[in-house]
Amino acid sequence: TRRVRTRDLHLAKERGEKWAMLTSYDQYTAGIFDEAGIPVLLVGDSAANNVFGYPTTLPVTVDELIPLVRAVVGATSRSLVVADLPFGSYEEGPTQALRTAVRFMKEGGSHAVKLEGGRRTAPAIEAMTAAGIPVMAHIGFTPQSEHVFGGYRVQGRGDAADEVIADAEAVVRAGAFAVVLEMVPGDVAKRITHDVPVPTIGIGAGPHTDAQVLVWQDMAGLRTGGHMPRFVKRYADLAGVLREATTRYAEEVRDGAFPGPEHTF
């Protein structure tokens, strides 16, 4: 077995094969997702919320994310690992974006990078692609801009569909190898998926995209607090499993059942 390449994802689109992507921020989950055959892992800036406990994605830095990227790359042998460019690390333009992307590729060992924004980031996508760095775009609702959007809101409803479509066309023209569509109406996602030659990856974008992505703690039910968006489906209750294990461990220490003779030298 070998690493998945962007070319494999294009061939999957041609064959009409759908695939799943997950976030990962550490070695154990990365190893499990890799073995489960998840072709693409994203070290998302959602580590801000899901690892560091920040209230939004805005505060997380490149220096905080690079060690997580290294952990995920080191624990995988098949998955293509994408590093997310955090807020403030690319908005100044193509030069800053390229400098940040090079850090993720060189210090983190990622195989691609992702950044938020449509038409506005096309020059940055072009610069990174020209430098040999595969770029995943992210359009529709982009969490780093939540203060402009006024919260987590569906983008591209009604007449605004043309804006999202123009963004998709611009990032693909600039060289993006794939594009994340977040919280856009299902019919708009379907139209973009049909129109663009690269894979579309939906999150809250309905069933017609080429791939889907979820934050792993949402998918596996480790996160239970806060607002859970409607597009999340929970496939396990990791929080419940861990709460139960923790309670039993503490009980057994208190009542002397642990450690037993078999745990004692």
Residue type, 13: K
Per CB under 6 A, which of residues 131..160 are in contact with ligand KIV? 138
* Residues of this chain, 28-57, that bind Na ion according to CB under 5 A: 44-45
Q: Distance of CA 76 to CAs 73, 145, 254, Å? A: 5, 31, 39
Among 29, 30, 41, 45, binds ligand KIV (CB under 6 A): 45
Answer yes or no: are the C-beta atoms of 107 and 136 closer than 8 Å.
Answer: no
Buried b (16+ CB within 10 A) or exposed e, 46-65: bbbbbbeeeeebbebebebb
C-beta atoms surrounding 210 within 10 Å: 22
Tokens encoding 48: 């801000």
Spatial contact of 88 and 118, defined as CB atoms under 8 Å apart: no
Q: With binding defined as CB under 6 A, does residue 23 bind ligand KIV?
A: yes
**φ/ψ (deg, to 5) at 27:** -70, -40
- Report the nearest approach of Na ion to the CB of residue 48 (Å): 9
Active site residue 182: yes
Binding residue for ligand KIV, selected from 180, 198, 205, 220, defined by CB under 6 A: 180
Q: Of the listed pieces 26-34, 40-48, 63-71, 122-130, which binds ligand KIV according to CB under 6 A? A: 40-48
In terms of CB distance, is 98 or 183 closer to ligand KIV?
183
64, 182, 244, 251: which is the annotated catalytic residue?
A: 182
> In 3-state terms, what secondary structure has residue 136?
strand
Residues 4-23, one symbol each (x = binds Na ion by CB under 5 A, - = not), give: --------------------
Between residue 231 and residue 250, which ones bind ligand KIV under the rule CB under 6 A? none
Q: Write down how long the chain is.
A: 265
Q: Active-site positions?
A: 182
By CB under 5 A, name the binding residues for Na ion: 44-45, 84
By CB under 6 A, name the binding residues for ligand KIV: 23, 42, 44-46, 84, 138, 180, 203, 213, 215
